[in-house]
């Protein structure tokens, strides 16, 4: 599979102190570990277990994900914007595969 490119939606700019909604979507099978393959062998668990969003290096939103979350997890949350800067997003899975992304936001004049 090609490198994993998450989808992220957040406004390009916000007023100082404005609360913005951030939506993220990423490709991942989120294999729960409960399923068995055609031969009856358990399919090993492989899920994204942690999602972290930081703004200018400071944590904004963190989540520990568990096995009940479906494939291609969609995570939506809010953040209060006081400065312009960069949101960084990090997804970590059970095999320590780390996917990151960044989005910049400007302050409205």
Partner 1 sequence: MKLPFAIAAALLCASVVLAGADEALKGIPAPPGHVFKTIYSGYQFRTAKTRALQDDDMQNPGFLAIDRAADLWNKIDGAAGKSCASCHGTAEDSMKGVGAKMPKWSAALGKPVNLEQQINICRANAMKATPWPFKSQALTDMTTFVRFQSRGMPVNVQIDGPMAPWFDKGKELYYDRVGQLDLSCASCHETNVGLHMRADLLSQGQSNGFPTYRLRDQRLIPLHERFQGCMHDVRAVPYEPLSDEFLALEIYLAWRGVGLPVETPAVRN
Residues near partner 1, by CB under 8 A: 1-2, 5, 7, 9, 23, 25-27, 29-30, 70-72, 74
Give CA–CA dist 60/53, Å, rounded: 6
38 vs 109, which CB is nearer to partner 1? 38
Give CA–CA dist 40/48, Å, rounded: 24
56 vs 72, which CB is nearer to partner 1? 72
56 phi-psi bin (left φ>0, alpha ψ -120 to 50, beta other):
left
105 within 8 A of 89, measured Cβ to Cβ: no
16 vs 23, which CB is nearer to partner 1? 23
């Amino acid at each position: 599979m090609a490198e994993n490119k998450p989808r992220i939606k957040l406004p390009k700019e916000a007023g100082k102190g404005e609360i913005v909604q951030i939506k993220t979507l990423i490709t991942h099978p989120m294999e729960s570990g409960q399923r068995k393959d055609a031969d009856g062998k358990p399919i090993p668990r492989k899920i994204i277990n942690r999602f972290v969003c930081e703004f200018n290096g400071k944590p904004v939103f963190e989540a520990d994900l568990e096995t009940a979350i479906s494939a291609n997890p969609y995570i939506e949350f809010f953040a209060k914007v006081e400065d312009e800067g960069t949101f960084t997003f990090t997804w970590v899975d059970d095999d320590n595969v780390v996917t990151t992304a960044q989005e910049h936001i400007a302050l409205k004049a």
